Structure 1
Amino acid sequence: MSKLSLVFVFSLIFSAGFAQIKPAKDQAYLVDGQGKPFFWLGDTAWELIHRLDKKEIESYFKKRASQGYNVIQTVALAELDGLTAPNRNGDLPLIDQDPAKPNEAYFKWVDWVVECAQRYDLQIALLPTWGDKIKLVWGPGPVVFNPENAYAYGKFIGERYKDQPNIIYVLGGDRNMETDEELATVNAMAKGIQEQDHGKHMMTYHPRGGYAASMIVKDAKWLDLDILQTGHWRKRYPTDSLIAEVRQPNRPILDGEPCYEDHPIQWKPEIGFFHALDIRQSAYRSVFAGACGHTYGHHGIWQMWQKGREPISSVEVDWKHGLKAKGGGQMQYLKKLMEQCRWYELTPTHISTDADDTLQALTSDHHLLIYQEQAKNFTVNINDLPMSISIFDPATGKSKRLENHSLTNNIEVNFPKKYINRDAVIIITLGNNS
């Protein structure tokens, strides 16, 4: 066999293994190109295409891939002066700010970013445009889309990436489209994309804080994945309640924009900042409510802030140092735990304790996982005799087996002192585990 043939065969094998992420049939989780369950661990890099150069992007992808991330959320027509400030190559995305006239040089750059991500086994959750180009509300805009040119732009994007295996489309862009014109514009863009790629790529929608995609686009046929934004307004957002309100048994759901690490609460530094514990609580609360994964965010990273650049709100560290933030590194432990316990077989539930507390939990024939946002001793009764009981530390990814535990249905959990004011997961392997 010739070298060229070998390359072609390898390409086919690689493409088959890296085919589009999609919802599992009649299930509320995602699968990869080989049909294997795919736990979404995303990072928010809205300004990556717009603000970074090749060396910086490679460095960013390499770091996130090493931390277990598999999805990067970013934008073609970016939020921060995306139509008026060029990328690092000096290119603007549109000629004369006309969506019907995309700039080929700029989109060759987008091509490179997507293909580079593929080399690191990263999916790109691509927003064709930020929402301020459809509906202003705040931000620089300008509004340039209507149903006609959104359809044309969608066809352009759909044709360009119809054979690219690591694309997930995200419409909306931090806006709740409400008027007939706004909704028609989003639907026209979705139609244009799907006409060219024949629905090959998964599609979702990024709403404003406090909403889910399904609350905005309702029963749109193109909505494959329901995404929430719980946002940056409060600690301990009741994500579980929002998920319970909109979750459907056969459609995956996740929080695509929770509170960001090192982000000022309510955008006001005087109130305080979100830090690692807040990030973990948000992530575990979401996944233990039935989410098919989670997206992390860092305040310096989403805007790719660095010295010499005007920050959005108060920024504690630049994007390069943000890659070392504690909460961001700890997200890989959540992913590893869920994969170890076969999260796709787990069902969200609530567990009542002897102290009349109600704890979030996930259960299957094999495991019972109980999450406490602030660990305190408790006793709980379960139907199956446990085979083992361990404490999993979300901050380190390490587990400690509880010794000298009587194997009865009435389980008493006593935490070591180091867990006080910390979060923890109790992992109970059930007696009928084969």
Structure 2
Amino acid sequence: MSRLKIHENKSNFIRDGKPFFYLADTIWSAFTNVTIEEWEFYLEKRKMQGYNVLQINTLPQWDRCVADTGIYPFASEDGQKFDFSKYNQDYYERAKKMCQMAVDKGFELALVVLWLNYVPGTWGSRMLDMNIMPKEYVKKYTDKVISEFDQFEPIYVVSGDTDFDTDDAIEYYQIALDELCKKSPSTLKTLHIKRGYDIIPEEFLDKIDFYMYQSGHNAMEQRMAYMLPQQISEKYPKKPIVNAEPCYEQMGYSRMQYGRFGVKEIRQAAWSSILSGACAGVTYGAHGIWNWHRINSPKNSVLGEGFDSPNPWQEALQFEGAWDYGFLKYLLEENRVEELIPCQELLENASEEIRIAKTKEGNYFIYVPYSTQVVIRESLKGYEIKAIDLQTRQIVYVTPDYRENKTFLKMLPISHDIVYIMKKKMTDIKREE
């Protein structure tokens, strides 16, 4: 049986009977690009930062750095075009060694079975069609993934960055998902879908265990971080929701727009997600880690849509935002938070960018991107209120005003984004009991 399970509240995960906040790093191209020595260093770093899940593509990532290790799952003359009829077992032995190293350090594995460029009728295969997998190999390849990786009890991410706008795409992924359900019934399954997308085919709904969405790298559409979990919650049966690809740190803006995502923008994506219904977890990404860029790579060395040049992996691994995501997980664990229930209706005349959610115990979290007065349509007398400057992690003890049965949080002298934590005082909890 898989160690990772769905909480009975259908909003979160549990592992070994304890709440588990899914904090992942995207390292899609690990199996093709990372050496064993580099992998050991990487795992140590992310373990220290609090990460507990690694999202990896079982197939060569189409937009990885071309300066890879030269080992592929199928026969190939150039590392780009593959012969799906001939497996390279050395690739799988090496990948399993990397998986074992990760599992030994306590990581869960989220392994993508079919990234979109291998599937006909997706936006990715229309851009790059050299490696569309023949349909007769889909079941065979899924069986190969199960036979090689099921020992690690991974999360199977059936699709990668995909849409389901064609019958071909739905058929391919249905073949893979049905085979996973048949041959690996105890592992968790999900779908990684494209940016800004919330379409999940009806025939998949009963077979996946939780939802992934992608708020992505379009600078003009970062509201997707909070809009998509709301839409998914309204459209589909209740299951845990994870933002599996928010904007990556130092990724260039898409749509040919000049600029890069910084620490404040990636923090906002994470907090906006978890306070809007995606409280099961969130995924960090660093531009240079997901595609494993090397300092000695040739010019124009990134395949696919590169979103401007990445940093070498050694530099990308040191980005400050990775610690911010670890700090988010720390705050939730220290406050024993499991489910977070969005309650935007409590905010009066507030920007949609300000997000609020409550716990089942009646405590509140509010994310404020820029310091301003916040008015809550409830009197929270009897609550201890703290504000944390998310850049400096300094703590402000807040004294609110109460009038007209409302709580007024005055603007604070903080120049960065803020999270408010509002907890019932212990004397009030005992009084209620």
Q: What TM-score, normalized by structure 2, do the two folds share?
A: 0.86
* Residue of structure 2 equivalent to 1:237: 223
How far apart, CA to CA, are the structure 2 residues paired with 1:55 and 1:348? 43
* Residue of structure 1 equivalent to 2:32: 50
How far apart, CA to CA, are the structure 2 residues paired with 1:341 and 1:191? 39
Moved more, 381-390 or 369-378: 381-390
How far apart, CA to CA, are the structure 1 residues paired with 2:215 and 2:204? 21
Residue 362, structure 1, aligned to residue 357, structure 2: yes
The answer to whether the 8 Å contact 2:225/2:270 transfers is no
Residue 215, structure 1, aligned to residue 203, structure 2: no
Larger relative contact order, structure 1 or 2 (CA cutoff 8 Å, min sep 6): 2
* Residue of structure 2 equivalent to 1:9: none
* AA at the equivalent of 1:93: P
Question: Which segments of structure 1 move beyond 6 Å, counting only runs of 4 or more?
Answer: none
Residue 414, structure 1, aligned to residue 397, structure 2: no
* Residue of structure 1 equivalent to 2:14: 31
* AA at the equivalent of 2:357: L
The answer to whether the 8 Å contact 2:402/2:408 transfers is no
> Cα distance 1:354–1:170, how it changes in 2: closer, same or farther (>3 A)?
closer
- 1:402 corresponds to which of 374, 398, 405: 398
Alignment of 1:9-408 (within 5 A): 19-32=2-15, 34-80=16-62, 88=69, 90-95=70-75, 97-135=82-120, 136-139=125-128, 141-146=130-135, 148-165=136-153, 167-197=154-184, 199-212=185-198, 214-216=199-201, 219-235=204-220, 236-247=222-233, 248=236, 250-266=238-254, 268=256, 271-291=258-278, 292-309=280-297, 310-311=301-302, 312-353=306-347, 355=349, 357=351, 359-364=354-359, 365-402=361-398
* Residue of structure 1 equivalent to 2:79: none
> Cα distance 1:94–1:181, how it changes in 2: closer, same or farther (>3 A)?
same
**How big is the shift at 1:80?**
3.0
How far apart, CA to CA, are the structure 1 residues paired with 2:207 and 2:98? 25
SS, match of residue 124 in structure 1: strand
**How big is the shift at 1:262?**
0.7
Q: Percent identity?
A: 24
How far apart, CA to CA, are the structure 1 residues paired with 2:134 and 2:43? 31
How far apart, CA to CA, are the structure 2 residues paired with 1:141 and 1:204? 26
* AA at the equivalent of 2:355: Q
How far apart, CA to CA, are the structure 2 residues paired with 1:55 and 1:371? 39
SS, match of residue 329 in structure 1: helix
* AA at the equivalent of 1:63: K
SS, match of residue 58 in structure 2: strand
Q: RMSD over aligned Cα, in angstroms?
A: 2.6
The answer to whether the 8 Å contact 2:363/2:424 transfers is yes
**How big is the shift at 1:258?**
1.2
1:79-123, Cα deviation, whole Å (9 max, x unpaired): 2388xx7952x4321136344542211110110111111122111
How far apart, CA to CA, are the structure 2 residues paired with 1:86 and 1:290? 39
* AA at the equivalent of 1:138: M
The answer to whether the 8 Å contact 2:195/2:216 transfers is yes
- 2:417 corresponds to which of 423, 426, 431: 423
**How big is the shift at 1:333?**
1.2
How far apart, CA to CA, are the structure 1 residues paired with 2:317 and 2:67? 25
> Cα distance 1:357–1:305, how it changes in 2: closer, same or farther (>3 A)?
closer
Moved more, 352-361 or 167-176: 352-361
SS, match of residue 301 in structure 1: coil
The answer to whether the 8 Å contact 1:79/1:139 transfers is no
The answer to whether the 8 Å contact 1:352/1:380 transfers is yes
How far apart, CA to CA, are the structure 2 residues paired with 1:282 and 1:157? 32
Structure 2: segments with no counterpart, 5+ residues: 77-81
* AA at the equivalent of 1:20: R
Moved more, 94-103 or 239-248: 94-103
The answer to whether the 8 Å contact 2:371/2:417 transfers is yes
How far apart, CA to CA, are the structure 1 residues paired with 2:259 and 2:63? 28
How far apart, CA to CA, are the structure 1 residues paired with 2:206 and 2:375? 45
How far apart, CA to CA, are the structure 1 residues paired with 2:7 and 2:172? 29
How far apart, CA to CA, are the structure 1 residues paired with 2:54 and 2:139? 25
1:284-341, Cα deviation, whole Å (9 max, x unpaired): 0000002111011112111111223213342252122111112222111111112223
> Cα distance 1:141–1:231, how it changes in 2: closer, same or farther (>3 A)?
farther
1:204-242, Cα deviation, whole Å (9 max, x unpaired): 111111113x53566443211111111111253232222
How far apart, CA to CA, are the structure 1 residues paired with 2:201 and 2:67? 31
Structure 1: segments with no counterpart, 5+ residues: 1-15
* Residue of structure 2 equivalent to 1:10: none
How far apart, CA to CA, are the structure 2 residues paired with 1:218 and 1:275? 39
> Cα distance 1:345–1:221, how it changes in 2: closer, same or farther (>3 A)?
closer
Count of residue correspondences? 406
The answer to whether the 8 Å contact 1:80/1:140 transfers is no
How far apart, CA to CA, are the structure 2 residues paired with 1:284 and 1:228? 15
How far apart, CA to CA, are the structure 1 residues paired with 2:379 and 2:386? 18
> Cα distance 1:430–1:206, how it changes in 2: closer, same or farther (>3 A)?
same
* AA at the equivalent of 1:330: D
